[in-house]
Amino acid sequence: MAESTNGRMEKLVSLCKRRGFIFQSSEIYGGINGFWDYGPLGVELKRNIKNAWWEDVVRKRDDMVGLDCAIIMNPKVWEASGHVAGFTDPLADCKKCKARFRADKIFSVTARDGENVLLQAGVEADDEAHARAAATAAANSKTRRRLEQHAEAMVWEVCRGDRLPDGVAARCPLCGGELTDARKFNMMFKTFVGAMEDSSAVAYLRPETAQGIFANYSNVLDTSRLKLPFGIAQIGKAFRNEINPRNYTFRSREFEQMEIEFFCRPDEADKWYEYWRDARFQWYVGLGLRSDRLRLRDHEPDELAHYANACADIEYEFPFGICELEGVANRTDFDLTQHQKFSGKDMAYFDDESKERFLPYVIEPSGGVDRAALALLCEAYCEDEAPDEKGNPQPRTLMKLHPRIAPIKAAVFPLVKKDGMPAIARKIYEDLRGAGLSAFYDEKGAVGRRYRRQDEAGTPFCITVDGQTLQDRTVTVRDRDTLRQERIADDEVLPYVRERVG
Ligand code: GAP
């Protein structure tokens, strides 16, 4: 089972490279761990995800405004937020092979099937049965449940506070060597502002976009006519010096976030928390993630961050495990209180009607663009059979991307490069592009091969101009997923595609 999911991931990674979705950053120099580049198709996919988010959470709402903050801010922001003191991971090194691990994530497991979970490493045990028993004893109920739910988990995340049973020692998952004691490691990337490289010039690349919103909360309030409840939304890069970047783009060192800070009265915070938790879950379903691969997992009280009084993760069943796509948290008035304290600026909200002054509570839906893109790519990857020109079934790979996020919405082909077909096809192609729909024109090679290329790119519609077009001005529209072909008038192509893209 583990093999087949690894295989599936390998095939997806290979397709993403082959077709120009995702490349390793600076690949010609051997790459750099935790950094990725998005190629021509990938950048369109990401842009479509961000546009969909912006349309749905900002433009379509009258209680939300957008913001675009600098990546580097006054370092006091990160003192106030707690990131300077607390944005740390426990780090342990293997004394033997020198590999570095997060000390709370050093237990590697694979699974044979749903029930037969074998602890492979990290626990000294004589045999499988002993290892499994030790694993079970060491896990609390939450960890065990997650492990059981997803039998192919590659890394078993031991929760904070878990203790291994007596006589069981943590060991290097790679070579079994002894590990150093855990040390704290701050994940913020440091840089220097200006010519001096001393402590007075230290600044950080933001590890989240959220703090830029809190730092601008008063600016936005003073310059807009917003009243509670309202939200501020931002999309932007974030940087974390992850100890162990892994699972393709899932845990990267540079990534993009889409974050909302939704300010509300404290007595309405529970209601808005539930609203956003459910709305954000449905958003992913609407973009094509199958709801049975999506989970909404409420955090246990012992899992909550120090600033939150409620939190839920929207998780997706990736081929490598069930992992977080987005977190929705009730951050209370923690951040505004902190920034008020550290900046000395009054952040209280004055309610005209009740004449009260108070610090609003904040509900934060915080998602990752790269994780959404990866989930959508995993969901879309599909293999089936399609008939070739002679009607013989041939294996094909297709990306069943939702038309709203597909990088190319329609490809237009003349069946042959003569009899005026290219001119008609070009006109359809230009009309689509002129209407703001990304389209692709291709007149080279057998039409079956052209279809295959578009299937791999995730293009939902292929439009072919053929002999009949010359007689009655109709073209065929081929549906990527069903392979169904229908004839429509050439001037109907634009409304046809536009309606389906949504
Ligand atoms: N402001 C709250 C916050 O940043 P988070 O859970 O640390 O919360 C929010 O991050 C989202 O950002 C995650 O759900 C994930 O989608 C994305 N994210 C976080 N770390 C990431 C990483 N190393 N690589 C890719 N995406 C990441």
The answer to whether 241 and 335 have CB atoms below 8 angstroms apart is no
Task: Note the pLDDT of residue 491.
Answer: 96
Task: Note the pLDDT of residue 104.
Answer: 60
Cross-strand bridge partners of residue 93? 100
3-state secondary structure (DSSP) of residue 326: strand
How far from 284 is each of 216, 270, 277, 278, 441, CA to CA, in Å?
Answer: 28, 22, 12, 10, 31
Mean pLDDT value across residues 415-424: 96
CA of 367 to the centre of ligand 1 (A): 6
Q: Is the CB of 284 under 6 A from ligand 1?
A: no
- Listed in order, strand segments (DSSP E) in 400-473 are 410-414, 439-441, 461-465
CA of 57 to the centre of ligand 1 (A): 18
The answer to whether 169 and 124 have CB atoms below 8 angstroms apart is yes
* Phi and psi angles of residue 234, each rounded to the nearest 5 degrees, phi first: -150, 140
- Report whether the peptide linkage leading into residue 229 is cis, meaning its omega lies within 30 degrees of zero: yes
Q: What is the pLDDT of residues 220-269, one digit of tens each?
A: 999 998 999 999 999 999 999 988 788 999 999 999 999 999 999 999 99
Q: What is the pLDDT of residues 255-285, one digit of tens each?
A: 999 999 999 999 999 999 999 999 999 999 9
The answer to whether 365 and 260 have CB atoms below 8 angstroms apart is yes
3-state secondary structure (DSSP) of residue 501: helix
Task: Note the pLDDT of residue 183.
Answer: 77
Which residue CA neighbors atom 7 of ligand 1 most closely?
Answer: 208
pLDDT level of residue 83 (50, 70, 90 thresholds): very high
Task: Note the pLDDT of residue 448.
Answer: 92
How far from 119 is each of 122, 159, 269, 399, CA to CA, in Å?
Answer: 8, 16, 42, 35
Q: What is the pLDDT of residues 148-184, one digit of tens each?
A: 333 223 333 333 334 443 444 466 666 667 777 777 7
Task: Note the pLDDT of residue 118.
Answer: 33
Q: What is the pLDDT of residues 451-495, one digit of tens each?
A: 999 999 999 999 999 999 999 999 999 999 999 999 999 999 999
CA 226 to chain centre: 30
Higher pLDDT, 63 or 3: 63
CA of 50 to the centre of ligand 1 (A): 15
CA of 467 to the centre of ligand 1 (A): 53
Task: Note the pLDDT of residue 148.
Answer: 39
The answer to whether 66 and 53 have CB atoms below 8 angstroms apart is no
Least confident of 22-31, 153-162, 245-254, 327-336: 153-162
CA 364 to chain centre: 16
Which residue CA neighbors atom 15 of ligand 1 most closely?
Answer: 368
| Interacting residues of 147 by C-beta distance below 8 A, sequence separation 6+ | 109, 111, 117, 139, 153, 156
Of ligand 1's atoms, which has the minimum distance to the CA of residue 255?
Answer: 25
Q: Is the CB of 326 under 6 A from ligand 1?
A: yes
Q: Is the CB of 414 under 6 A from ligand 1?
A: no
Helices (H) and strands (E) in the chain, counts: 15, 26
| Interacting residues of 312 by C-beta distance below 8 A, sequence separation 6+ | 277, 296, 297, 298, 299, 327, 328, 329
pTM of the model: 0.86
Which residue CA neighbors atom 22 of ligand 1 most closely?
Answer: 251
CA of 256 to the centre of ligand 1 (A): 8
The answer to whether 87 and 93 have CB atoms below 8 angstroms apart is no
Higher pLDDT, 162 or 446: 446
Task: Note the pLDDT of residue 143.
Answer: 44
Residues counted in the chain: 502
What's the burial of 84, exposed, middle or buried (CB within 10 Å: 0-12/13-18/19+)? middle
Task: Note the pLDDT of residue 130.
Answer: 42
CA 13/CA 381 separation, integer angstroms: 10
Identify the residue whose tokens are 């059979």. Answer: 385
Q: What is the 3-state secondary structure (H, E, C) of 225-253?
A: CCCCCEEEEEEEEEECCCCCCECCCCECC
Which residue CA neighbors atom 14 of ligand 1 most closely?
Answer: 326
The answer to whether 171 and 179 have CB atoms below 8 angstroms apart is yes
CA of 348 to the centre of ligand 1 (A): 28
Least confident of 84-88, 331-335, 379-383, 450-454: 84-88
Q: What is the pLDDT of residues 84-140, one digit of tens each?
A: 988 777 777 778 877 776 666 554 333 332 233 333 333 333 344 444 444 444 444
Task: Note the pLDDT of residue 167.
Answer: 41
Secondary structure letter of residue 267 according to DSSP: G
Which residue CA neighbors atom 4 of ligand 1 most closely?
Answer: 208
Mean pLDDT value across residues 297-305: 86
